[in-house]
Chains A and B, each alone.
Chain A
Amino acid sequence: MYEIVMPQLSDSMEEGKLIAWKKSVGDAVNTGDVIVEVESDKAIMEVQSFKNGILKEVLAKEGDVVSVGEVIARIETAESAKTKQKAALQEEKEVPKEQKTAVEEKVVEQPKPEKKEAAEEKKSEPELQKVVPKHLSKEFSNGISPKARVKAAFYGVDTEKVLQKSAANVLHVDDVQAYIKEHYFTPKALQLLDEYGLDIAIFELNHKIDATEVQEYITKHETPLPKKLSQMQKAIIANVTASAQKPVYHLFEDIDAKLFLQNERYSITAWLIKIFSKVMMTHSAFRSRIINDGVSVSPNASISVAVANEKDLYMPVVKDANRCSVAEIAEQLATFKTKLQSNSFSTQDMQGSNFGISNLGMLGVERFDAMINKEDSTIAAIGTLQDDKISVTLTADHRVINGYEAALFMRDVKKEAQNSLNFKE
């Protein structure tokens, strides 16, 4: 059973007035839900639940003045329901008895709320007395770890209070930390601290700190919101870092784009994939990649294409592009776009290429060079159209392709771009 007590909302607060119940007996309660409003000597505050469960009992009515630390409500959590079942089976010592009576009473109480109060007040005191010595007696407690003592002393926390709340035999530093968190912060405030990776030590712990106060700190200090890297981002980082290790060189070329313009039905990327894949078939080095101690040459030309939006970057592969018509290539590029939008690329989509292409021409980039994708040996970076020409920067891995081969390759690509036969389909 999880107990909600009258919180100490400021250092000077000794008792609080119960303003309004926000949940009734029998209601389901989620972590962070407001259970009750109480008034301290300064302000009205909301008391939130730190656990999920069902509100089983309320021990004070609206308008009552209750001492700090006194139980005002009990919530049955999944855990406590379990232990109760166990206890019923085993009939052990004090704890189960308490729970039992509590349950029995509840049945009697509900129809007669007036009597309940009187009975409750009597009940709650001896209960507390029972709990305290149980944890502090040597028999049950192995004590407090040195580190927990230091932490408690640092924050001025009374370890006896923590022991009352903890079920552990020995008080460890985590118990103190948990106590401090629960005691001085609202669940929503803790959530914020967690999100922003803030340490509780930045706050002066002499009152209950709520989400608004944490938010104020965040706004005032312009605390950046840390974001974890997605799996995708991690993969990209690994890829480009590996790519940066490759011994590369660049060829800066321009390709005649007149025929591309005359055949606008398909995109420049589609045409380029068609032409690159065709030329790759006569330059085996461009179909090669290094695997362990050897070079493996693919029988066909597969080309990876950089597909990106503001968020993600993928390098899906047009497989065996040399066997595809421009129409088929264009169709594949279209599916890549759909998959990008729906985030539905599979790992298979990204495999099997030897050559990459990245086109930023449509965004107005004149010329750039690209990082070679994964195991590819080359990548062509395509710039924007200018004076009927487009810039192509070829980045090649010198371990696989030497400059002479690359020059021959680009010469053939330029030739093919002017060959109108390619564009008759």
Chain B
Amino acid sequence: MLYREALNRAIDEVMSVDETVVTLGEDVGLYGGSFRVTEGLVEKYGEKRVIDTPIAELSIVGNAVGMAIGGLRPIAELMTGNFSLLAFDQIINHMAKLRYMSNGKLTLPMVVRFPQGVSKQLAAQHSESYEQMLSAVPGLRVLSVNDVNYAYHALKYAILSDDPVVFIEHELLYNKKGEVDFTQELDPFKARIAKEGSDITIVSYLKMLDDVMLAVPEIEKELGCSCEVIDLCSLNPIDYATLSKSIEKTSRLVMVEEDHKTGGYGTQIIAWAAEEMFYALDAAPLRLAGEDVPIPYNRKLELASIPTPESIAQKVIEWGRKNDV
């Protein structure tokens, strides 16, 4: 099953049993979604529950907020992370805060989903990552899943949850293949150990995790060590328990992310490690992130602006040698 099929299956299953679940966004209906995540749903559930909207992100999320207040469970799809910026007022001022400001009288059981990140030459206005901004908003839960099985379970959980959830996807993950265990009970807020190891803890999420996994054999070969790879899955809240258990074991931490290095999401993980895990660390942590530049259109420059399997391997090996791994 493909990543996008797993998402589709999750939405489909919930819509079939819960009539209050609706999905809205540009092209989610007749066209089946820009990335085919909502394919076949309008035929099954009709235009009243699978709603094509105008190109107006603020109104998509604003409508969803209204629907949620009114008792529906809307899933709002935005075409890409950069466009979500237009909806930030609704996401941050309304979706995240109304429950708190109404003293719990209003609940907003809604999901905003969108893909983000560097795909292939979509240039600066279509390639950026905004998990760092959204994770900094109290009241929101931010899920960002790499694994196909987790994608299915996490999205299903997000739709059924009474909390407002931002569900971040990646354009390059939609065609990722994987098995889904439909019977599993899975906590989407628990980090996933993508690979067990004993010498280096490498933390990542979303598409970068796949790049880390590609770099790991080279790292292990060159350094003669074993890497533990952790997929955060949930960016807020963060599963610190899994992280600290791993760092206690390995004594070394590497953070890999695609967003810009300054103010990027990984600063939180590294800052936490410095505060809480200092005496468990046997080397200064390493953080690999995108360059502090707008994502270039030129393919070579584009790849140079974010971590790639090759650069991850090279930098971790360099760091490992310096630190006697």
Contact = CB atoms under 8 A, between A and B. Distances in A.
**Do A and B originate from a single complex?**
yes
Interface string B253-291: 000000000000000000000000011111100000000
B324 interface: yes
A149 B323 contact: no
5 contacts: A145-B282, A147-B279, A148-B282, A168-B324, A170-B283
B278 A146 contact: yes
B121 to A, nearest CB: 41
A174 interface: yes
B324 A173 contact: no
The 3 closest A-B pairs by CB, nearest first: A147-B282, A145-B282, A150-B279
Contacts, number: 30
A174 B323 CA distance: 12
Contact of A172 (B278, B280, B282): B282
A421 B324 CA distance: 76
B224 to A, nearest CB: 13
A149 B282 contact: no
A173 B251 contact: yes
A145 B278 CA distance: 9
A45 B193 CA distance: 50
Number of chain A interface residues as a range? 10 to 19
B279 A172 contact: no
Interface in A162-184: 168-170, 172-174
Contacts of A150: 279
A150 B248 CA distance: 13
A150 B323 CA distance: 17
Interface of A: 145-150, 168-170, 172-174
Given A147-B280, A172-B282, 7 more contacts: A145-B251, A146-B278, A147-B279, A148-B282, A168-B324, A170-B323, A173-B282
Contacts of B323: 170, 172
Residue in A149, A168, A170, A174 whose Cβ sees the most chain B Cβ within 10 Å? A170
B235 to A, nearest CB: 26
A168 B323 CA distance: 9
Contacts of A174: 282, 324
Number of chain B interface residues as a range? 10 to 19
A147 B324 contact: no
Contacts of A170: 283, 323-324
A174 B322 CA distance: 15
Interface residues of chain B: helix, strand, loop or mixed (majority): loop
A146 B281 CA distance: 6
A146 B276 CA distance: 12
B324 A146 contact: no
Nearest to A166: B324
Contacts of A149: 279
Contacts of A173: 251, 282
Contacts of B280: 146-147
A174 B199 CA distance: 12
B324 to A, nearest CB: 5
B281 A172 contact: no
Contacts of B322: 169
A168 B325 CA distance: 12
A73 B323 CA distance: 32
Interface string B226-251: 00000000000000000000000001
A147 B249 CA distance: 12
Contacts of B283: 145, 170, 172
A122 to B, nearest CB: 35
Residue in B279, B282, B322, B324 whose Cβ sees the most chain A Cβ within 10 Å? B282
A256 to B, nearest CB: 52
Nearest to B247: A147
Contacts of A147: 251, 279-282
A148 B279 CA distance: 8
Interface in B281-306: 281-283
A173 B282 CA distance: 6
Contacts of A168: 324
A194 B71 CA distance: 64
